[in-house]
Amino acid sequence: MAYDLVCLGNPLLDIQVDVQKEYLDKYELKENDAILAEPKHMPIFDEILKFDDVKLVAGGAAQNTARGAQYVLPAESVLYFGSVGKDIYADKLIEANKSVGLTTSYMVQDDIATGKCGALINGVNRSLVTDLAAANHFKPSHLEKPENWAHVEGAKAFYIGGFHLTVSPEAIQLLGKHAAKENKDFIMNFSAPFIPQFFKDALDSCVPYADYIICNESEAAAYAESHGLDTKDLTEIAKYVAKLPKVNENKPRIVIFTQGTDSTLAVSYNAKADSFDVKSFAVHALESSKIADTNGAGDAFAAGFTAGLVQGKTLDESIDMGHWLAKLSIQEIGPSYPFPKQTY
């Protein structure tokens, strides 16, 4: 059985609640951010579980993307790797993945709980606080098991959540090397500003494998700052990233920056001609009254985009599929997709 798309990330259960700004202030959280929980944030999880409006939804950024890509693609197209515990949280993830037909090959930790993310929704913003727990224990050896490596060899494309750089850059490199050698698509997401900020070396060690890089405007700005780029201009930042050294010289690197409701920017670098192609794509408009929450919007964009690539669609059409799926997902609670299934 070959899955066209193999994804790697941190499987998390999202504990989602609506909060006021005061609650974020109490824990020194920004309105729109994603961070690793520090000891001072730990009480949040028990507190919000008692909120009246608490919702438990499948999360983990790359897992959301894997679910979204499987939502779009034919049955048994996507396989997701990550690490979970043996608990009801993991059961909930498996249930959500099953609902779209996503196949998982989890590494299972006997004595560590499944990771969780406090998704604190404040209007159109979301602040994500994560306790990785079992997700932090993923090991490259899981990929190297013969039955899993067969899936890697059978895949046409790979999608990697940048968040996984905090866990196992070695696992990412293992997939990256395979993708470059076999001329397969390797797609990476920067995931959050703290990745380029605090995991710069890990990120820099994996970017050479990336054919596609997806991130949002605040992650691009954090990248520019941590890499000492003397510019805040998004096109210039995208050009810099697109031109960075690349292991697979058979295809250009394409950098895609989303910007919320503003247009998405795509910059490709053609090394042979030493030239850039810069394009911009309007998002699909949605009245703000129809937004349930924006948790997972970026993951849904990445899902639609990646599904397009896997189907052999053009860059322009793949980006439009990303915008289409993001618009559907923000009308659902959490990083979810609507049923009955809609088609692009």
Catalytic residues: 299
Site for ligand 26A in 245-274 (CB under 6 A): none
Q: Which stretch binds ligand 26A (CB under 6 A): 86-94, 199-207, 258-266, 292-300?
A: 292-300
Site for ligand 26A in 164-223 (CB under 6 A): 166
Residue 278 CB, nearest approach to ligand 26A (Å): 26
- Cβ closest to ligand 26A, residue 14 vs residue 320: 14
Residue 268 CB, nearest approach to ligand 26A (Å): 25
Considering only 24, 128, 171, 303, the residue that binds ligand 26A (CB under 6 A) is 128
Q: Which stretch binds ligand 26A (CB under 6 A): 145-153, 160-168, 240-248, 267-275?
A: 160-168
Q: How far apart are CA 123 and CA 291, in angstroms?
A: 9
x-or-dash pattern for ligand 26A, window 293-332, by CB under 6 A?
A: --xx-xx---------------------------------
x-or-dash pattern for ligand 26A, window 58-87, by CB under 6 A?
A: -xxx--x-----------------------
Q: Which stretch binds ligand 26A (CB under 6 A): 6-14, 17-25, 213-221, 254-262?
A: 6-14
For residue 125, give every residue at least 6 positions away whose Cβ sits within 8 Å of its Cβ, in sequence order, or none.
Answer: 31, 32, 294
Q: Which residues pair with 80 in a beta bridge?
A: 7, 104
Considering only 7, 17, 24, 34, the residue that binds ligand 26A (CB under 6 A) is 34
Residue 205 CB, nearest approach to ligand 26A (Å): 17
Q: Which stretch binds ligand 26A (CB under 6 A): 72-80, 101-109, 125-133, 315-323?
A: 125-133
Q: How far apart are CA 279 and CA 256, in angstroms?
A: 10
Considering only 4, 14, 131, 185, the residue that binds ligand 26A (CB under 6 A) is 14
Q: How far apart are CA 138 and CA 212, in angstroms?
A: 24
Length of the chain: 344
Alpha carbons within 13 angstroms on the beta-carbon side of residue 193 total 12
x-or-dash pattern for ligand 26A, window 40-59, by CB under 6 A?
A: -------------------x
- Cβ closest to ligand 26A, residue 136 vs residue 280: 136
Q: How far apart are CA 125 and CA 136, in angstroms?
A: 26
Tell me which residue of 175, 179, 181 sits closest to 156, measured CA to CA. Answer: 179
Residue 181 CB, nearest approach to ligand 26A (Å): 27
For residue 296, give every residue at least 6 positions away whose Cβ sits within 8 Å of its Cβ, in sequence order, or none.
Answer: 59, 61, 64, 329, 334, 335, 336
Considering only 18, 33, 36, 311, the residue that binds ligand 26A (CB under 6 A) is 36
Q: In what order do the strands lie in the sheet with 275-281?
A: 103-108, 78-84, 5-8, 157-161, 185-189, 212-216, 253-259, 262-270, 275-281
DSSP state of 38: P
Q: Which residues pair with 270 in a beta bridge?
A: 275
Q: How far apart are CA 277 and CA 43, in angstroms?
A: 48
Strands (E), the chain: 5-8, 12-18, 33-36, 55-59, 78-84, 103-108, 115-122, 125-131, 157-161, 185-189, 212-216, 253-259, 262-270, 275-281
What residue is closest to ligand 26A based on CB? 59
302 C-beta neighbours (distance < 10 Å), count: 33
Residues that bind ligand 26A (CB under 6 A): 9-10, 12, 14, 34, 36, 59-61, 64, 117, 119, 128, 130, 132, 161, 163, 166, 295-296, 298-299, 335
